[in-house]
Amino acid sequence: MTWYDLCEKVAAITFNGVTMARNDIKVLVVDDVPNNVKVLLNILKEEGVSLSFSFSGIDAVKITEHEAFDLILLDIMMPNMSGFDACKAIKCNVKNKDTPIIFISARTDVESISKGFELGGVDYIVKPFHPDEIIARVNTHLDLSHAKKQLAATLVHESQKSDLKQKRLLDEIEQSQREMIYVLMEMMEMTSDETGQHIRRVADCAKLLAHYSSQLDSDDESIIFHAAPMHDIGKIAIPTEILHKPAKLTPEEFEVMKTHTTKALDFFPNTKRRLLNAAAIIAVQHHEKWDGSGYPKGLKGEEIHIYGRIVALADVFDALTHKRKYKAAWSMDDALDYIKAERGMHFDPKLVDILFSNLNEFLAIVQSTEYYEL
């Protein structure tokens, strides 16, 4: 039986619309000759795939803009838009770039066949064809397409598993860093109960400053909250008679006290771990001043890490408003007047503005008498 005989035989078949079978696999048949479409639909309907059809390249492009197909059978010689042009337009849509397209045409010249493959076609079937040939080639390319999708899904799954393993590893590393910091905190708290409460309030104030800073995100908030308690870790190495002296330090003693910033590095050897690195930055830089008059390096302005600038303000604000062995607590008004006067000198102006713009939240922290675990 010739192609044209088959067309005549199938032309009498009545088909009722777009979908010929219900299945997850969807095939689109495109040909401007209705009899040709009927033939292909009749051949493929026994394969149990979901079949759709179009009588023009233009309509086929529109259909594929809104609906995804597992395979497209595309005639070449059609009016208004050829199969080649339709293929280009269909492949331009990102969601269709991997959709296999099989060209079906009576054109047998090498140029046409080559062009079909160059445009992204996966096969080229010459009319007239045998039904078994259509079935074999369609099933082959559906199987190949399915295999590619499975491979892609497997790669994504493996990548996700790898990402999950890496996240778990990073979480474990971060947890170990926190545990190390907690141990160091306990060492600090052994020096006095006053120190323990102070470092908790500083952590809360620092987190709140980070929260309102446009430079930082939620990750920074968490990092600074857990790292800020280490700002005075170097004081463990300061002689007790200086650290707990109930009177004002002599110039010589103050020079020793100032070394607590650099001695902190003994507890944080050169590390790329984010949490420990943040703790080291804070411990070394929290006595630097915006105008460059601080220590240990005399850093100025944004030369000081934002973490260091934040803890500098949080530390002084809390220290002024609480009693120490060598001084009485300042009144809140006096403390706030001092902070305001030191805006742009001791402290980052933007951070001071954040404090005063959200003052009630900061007052709730420094006036709190609660004692809790970080």
Q: Which of 165, 235, 258, 325 is catalytic?
A: 235
Residue 235 catalytic? Answer: yes
Q: Is the dihedral of CA 224, 230, 234, 235 positive or negative?
A: positive
Residue 347: count other Cβ atoms within 10 Å of its Cβ: 23
Q: What's the chain look like in SS3?
A: CCHHHHHHHHHCCCCCCCCCCCCCCEEEEECCCHHHHHHHHHHHHHHCCEEEEECCHHHHHHHHHHCCCCEEEEECCCCCCCHHHHHHHHHHCHHHCCCCEEEEECCCCHHHHHHHHHCCCCEEEECCCCHHHHHHHHHHHHHHHHHHHHHHHHHHHHHHHHHHHHHHHHHHHHHHHHHHHHHHHHHHHCCCHHHHHHHHHHHHHHHHHHHHCCCCCHHHHHHHHHHHHHCCHHHHHCCHHHHCCCCCCCHHHHHHHHCHHHHHHHCCCCCCCHHHHHHHHHHHHCCCCCCCCCCCCCCCHHHCCHHHHHHHHHHHHHHHCCCECCECCCCHHHHHHHHHHCECCCECHHHHHHHHHCHHHHHHHHCCCCCCCC
Give residue 15's Cα distance to chain centre.
Answer: 50
Report, in angstroms and rounded to the nearest whole number, the Rg of the chain calculated over CA atoms. Answer: 37
* Spatial distance between the Cα atoms of 37 and 349, rounded to a whole number of angstroms: 75
CA trace torsion 188, 329, 355, 193 (10° rounding): 20
Would you please indicate which residues are annotated as catalytic (active-site) residues? 235
